[in-house]
Structure 1
Amino acid sequence: MPESAALDARVVVAGETEPRVALSPAAIALLQRLWAQHGPLMFHQSGGCCDGSSPMCYPAGEFLTGDADVLLGVFDLPAGDASSDGGALGELEFWMSVEQFSYWRHTRLLVDVVDGRGSGFSVEAPEGKRFLIRSTLMGT
């Protein structure tokens, strides 16, 4: 059974009032571990070949975004460490190519995690896990 949303991104798409992207509890836990290893992170969803349906997680700034990309949301990733003050690790941006967004503009995206190896370019690949997108229609 798919995970439910545990953390919504801040709304950043002009004119929108509902979060467009969220993280599952499993995604949050994996991102916290990856953040400890790699520092600040970001997602990019391209829609191309070679795991194009999977969001790719990179060290922040390693994947250069531009006019061909849309920022769909920004997460305040929680620290999650029992010894912390409950604050955030930092901001994690979720980007999508404009072309992919044209197909998915009516969907709400949930970033989840499953066992298996994804793309070698995404930082979770060595963990034996991969991020994936679960989508629902906006407003449902």
Structure 2
Amino acid sequence: MSTPRVLVTDAAKAVIDQLREQHGPLMFHQSGGCCDGSQPMCFALGEFRLGRSDVKLGEIHGCPFYMDKRQFETWEHTQLTVDIKPGRGSSFSLEIPLGLRFLIESRMFDEGELAELSPVEPVDA
């Protein structure tokens, strides 16, 4: 079994469930752009247009999680955990009207985990 590249906390799962009930299937994207910083953004599935510069890292709580591949090159040695905190994010993410924001916590993979990582999936755009 391979080591997952992205995880999600129970608190974030509860918010994902709430958003899914309102908006249907969801997706996450984290770009390296200037406007959204490094905050993971939650969209209705298909609402955010993916491109060839994106890769799929995995799924969190039934939602695909994508990242800009340039940003992934910087973070490829880290395991990401999506969490939720009170506060206003600076994006178009679906949790913003709830007074919440998704954020990333990260840790470096150890050598054994690095050896077990699956490759990321390119996006066919």
Range into which the TM-score falls when normalised by the shorter chain: 0.7 to 0.9
Partner residue of 1:97 out of 43, 57, 68: 68
Deviation per CA, 1:79-128: give whole Å up to 9, x if none. Answer: xxxxxxxxxxxx31000001100100100000001110113410000000
**Percent identity of paired positions between Structure 1 and Structure 2:** 53
2:49 maps to 1:49: no
TM-score under structure 1 length normalisation? 0.75
Displacement of 1:66: 2.2
Amino acid at match of 2:13: I
Q: Which runs of 5+ in 1 are unaligned?
A: 1-10, 12-16, 78-90
Partner of residue 64, structure 1:
49
Deviation per CA, 1:66-85: give whole Å up to 9, x if none. Answer: 2100100023x3xxxxxxxx
Q: Which has the higher contact order (CA 8 A, sep 6+)?
A: 2
Deviation per CA, 1:3-34: give whole Å up to 9, x if none. Answer: xxxxxxxx8xxxxx210000001100000000
RMSD: 1.5
Moved over 3 A (4+): none
The structure where helix makes up a greater share of residues is: 2
User: 2:102, 2:39 → 1: CA distance?
Assistant: 6
Partner of residue 110, structure 1:
81
